[in-house]
Amino acid sequence: ETNKMLDVTTLIDSGATISCINQEYVKLYHLPIQRLAEIIPVFNADGTPNVVASMREFVAVKMKIGKHEEAIDLPITNLG
């Protein structure tokens, strides 16, 4: 745990099946990476396979929106 605090703008996609984080963001902020217990296949909105093909790692974050705060694991993928 790094206890690094970052203010970020996020995209809320109510049609997404899971929450995830962009791999470039993880690299930019040197976020600590952990291995997923199971590989998650990745598909684009049009049903085609994403260029990363599958997610194998995640970052654990504490998310705070207003007064609401919770821990969440975000699988890493290519969002751009």
Using one digit for the tens of pLDDT, what is the confidence trace for 32-46? 999 999 999 988 778
Whether 12 is in a domain gets the answer no
Q: Does 21 score more than 80 pLDDT?
A: yes
pTM of this structure: 0.77
Decide if 59 is inside a domain. yes
Split into its structural domains, the chain has a count of: 1
- Give the pLDDT score at 2: 63
In a domain, 9, yes or no: no
Q: Which domain holds residue 35?
A: 21-77
Residues 6+ apart with CB under 8 A from 31: 2, 4, 21, 25, 59, 61
Q: Is residue 14 part of a domain?
A: no
Angle at 14 between CA 9 and CA 16, to 5 degrees: 95
Residue 16 lies in a domain: no
Domain assignment present for residue 34? The answer is: yes
Q: How far is CA 76 from CA 43, 51, 66, 68, in A?
A: 13, 13, 25, 23
CA distance 28 to 21: 12
Q: Within a domain: residue 68?
A: yes
